[in-house]
Amino acid sequence: MGDKHHLDDSSDFTSEDEGTEDYRRGGYHAIRIGDTFNAGRYVVQSKLGWGHFSTVWLAWDIKHSRYVALKVQKSAQHYTEAAMDEITILQQIAEGDPDDKKCVVKLLDHFKHSGPNGQHVCMVFEYLGDNLLTLIKYSDYRGLPIAMVKEICFHILVGLDYLHKQLSIIHTDLKPENILLLSMIDPSKDPRKSGAQLILPNSKDKMVLESSGVKDTKMLNGDLVMNHKKKIKRKAKQAAHGCFEKEVSEGVEGNPETSGAVESSPNASSTRATSSAGTSRLSDADGTKLKEQGNKRGSRSMRQKLLASVDLKCKLVDFGNACWTYKQFTNDIQTRQYRCPEVILGSKYSTSADLWSFACICFELATGDVLFDPHSGDNFDRDEIGNGWINANICAKGMYDYLWTHALNSDETHQGIERHCDFESRNMTSECNQYQIKGIIRLE
């Protein structure tokens, strides 16, 4: 399964669309609003996001009268194989959680769809809400109250405990964009609550509108239907050229799977840029981008009210890079800001890799800032390594142990991350006993 990169919405590399280059044989399937899938069962309503492997769409499930997230994979063989691996994992997850209590996204359906660019594997997921990165943005990157952080962390740990102990599954790409709330922070942006109009095909394959609260299809007057058709055609043309604007939520490729122009859908993998997330967040803090983002989410007082009333139940999403403890696909896992020491050093990894990412997420939720702000290249400083020590076992087995030796020679290494957090003077050993970290973040 392929590695997904972490995009920041302020990066020079960030784009609100996937571009046109990969709309070719073996690439994306061109989708228009109103298109139907799986013998007409799923009707596309709007675009949720995109990733390097797929695009993700809000769709209406005619059979069960519900919104779903439709993920359409690229058609090349290696993307198809990756999708089938993902489906195997998702089916295992669903079978072990019939009561839907394990805080992990549910795969509802999967099928193949043939188009001009090839045959595409499609996955249908339950439609969820905003991702945790969006939640952090609503706090203006100031962090959430500790009580909220603890509640969110409880749900994340329920999901990880289920994956690790019962299924031996490693997520391998845990980050705020891949943890989704069950609903939108702003109810007016949630199509399930806002009374948004449905786009449905009638028997003559013409587009008509239906209020989400009404069961019978209603034909509108000719002028309104014609205007709506023009709007659909305009948006469909934009979508086909990769320029379709975000319609449901911001900040996901995450996404997905998710979760924004990057995917924030339940199954889309969301990607931030490999450039410094910390730098962009500082620019937000000093007002450069914050004003613009604030306008998108209303006034600060409105954002605070929405945060105070948000439902913090959440689920883990995007298993496009997941594997089993006994069957791993690659050593190149995890988004850089959440990458654990054993992976950095090229050593063996297991479920503890997810716990490292989880701890980074806890810090980010509480402070609004990333715990580690790494950069690409061979030069490492305190943000790459942190304050602590890794036992000789992991260093000896790592392919990149010379990087650790280099880091230990840095004068800044031992200063570590004390500038960020408060530590307790005790050791914490990972569940696989692969690494030890001096101190843990104190949340109480």
- The verdict on 34 and 84 lying in the same domain is yes
Binding-site sequence positions for ATP: 71
pLDDT at res. 261: 32
pLDDT at res. 247: 38
Indicate whether 28 belongs to any domain: yes
Q: Which residues contact 240 (CB under 8 A, 6 or more apart)?
A: 23, 30, 31, 32
Q: Is the pTM of this model over 0.85?
A: no
pLDDT at res. 48: 93
Is 381 among the catalytic positions?
no
Rounded Cα gap, residues 416 and 426, in angstroms: 16
CATH number where 50 lies:
3.30.200.20
pLDDT at res. 196: 81
- Using alpha carbons only, give the angle 33, 317, 95 rounded to the nearest 5 degrees: 105
Where in the sequence is the domain holding 376, given as residue range(s)? 128-195+299-408
pLDDT at res. 300: 86
- The verdict on 307 and 403 lying in the same domain is yes
Q: Residue 210 half-sphere exposure, CB side, CA atoms within 13 Å?
A: 20
Indicate whether 433 belongs to any domain: no
Indicate whether 77 belongs to any domain: yes
pLDDT at res. 217: 35
Q: Which of 17, 173, 354, 369 is catalytic?
A: 173
Q: Running DSSP on this structure, what letter comes out for residue 244?
A: P
- The verdict on 319 and 395 lying in the same domain is yes
Determine the angle formed by the axes of helices 300-309 and 290-297, rounding to 10 degrees: 60
Q: SS3 of 197, please? A: strand
- The verdict on 83 and 173 lying in the same domain is no
Rounded Cα gap, residues 368 and 351, in angstroms: 25
Indicate whether 270 belongs to any domain: no
pLDDT at res. 193: 87
pLDDT at res. 117: 96
- The verdict on 303 and 404 lying in the same domain is yes
Which residue, of 77, 107, 127, is where some domain finishes?
127
- The verdict on 34 and 163 lying in the same domain is no
Rounded Cα gap, residues 343 and 341, in angstroms: 5
- The verdict on 65 and 132 lying in the same domain is no
Binding-site sequence positions: 71
Is 238 within 8 Å of 249 (Cβ atoms)? no
Indicate whether 11 belongs to any domain: no
- Give CA separation, 252 vs 97, 130, 175, 255, 316, in Å: 26, 8, 11, 5, 14
The phi and psi torsions of 183 (rounded to 5 degrees) equal -145, 170
* Segments in 76-221 forming alpha helices (H): 77-95, 132-138, 146-161, 167
Over the chain (444 residues), the average pLDDT of each successive run of 10 is: 36 59 94 96 95 94 96 97 96 96 97 97 97 95 96 98 98 96 94 87 51 38 44 52 41 37 40 33 36 60 91 96 94 93 92 96 96 71 47 55 42 39 36 38 38
